[in-house]
Amino acid sequence: MKKLALSSILVLALSISFISCRETAEKAKDAASQAEEAMEETGNDLKEAGEDAMDAAKEAGEDLKEAGEKAMDSAKEAGEDVMDKAKEIGEDVKDATQEAADKVSQ
């Protein structure tokens, strides 16, 4: 009788441990699957963030290029204005010199 009771308890204990191990294995698989999905989502998010950063850098570069071109145009116009004023002043000095020379010779 003792052997029968002990055998029954042993069989019951073994069956419970196998069922418990099976459930643990299934839970581990589920956890691994969820972790994999989370890693994929994180990878995709990082990829999108990188692409957004590249686009922003490209736009900033284009804006800087346009600003540089505008500055060059402004500097060119300013230089042309200075040259025009210098020519006007040169003409005025020439005219004043000629008038002074005419007055002296009279």
Name the pTM for this structure.
0.45
Residue 5 φ then ψ, to 5°: -65, -45
**What does the chain come to in residues?**
106
pLDDT tens for the chain, 106 residues long, are 567 676 777 666 666 665 656 666 677 788 888 888 888 888 888 899 989 999 999 999 898 999 889 889 888 888 888 888 888 888 888 887 888 777 777 6
For 105, the token pair is: 């010779």
Residue at token pair 């963030």: 49
Pull the structure tokens for residue 23: 């459930």
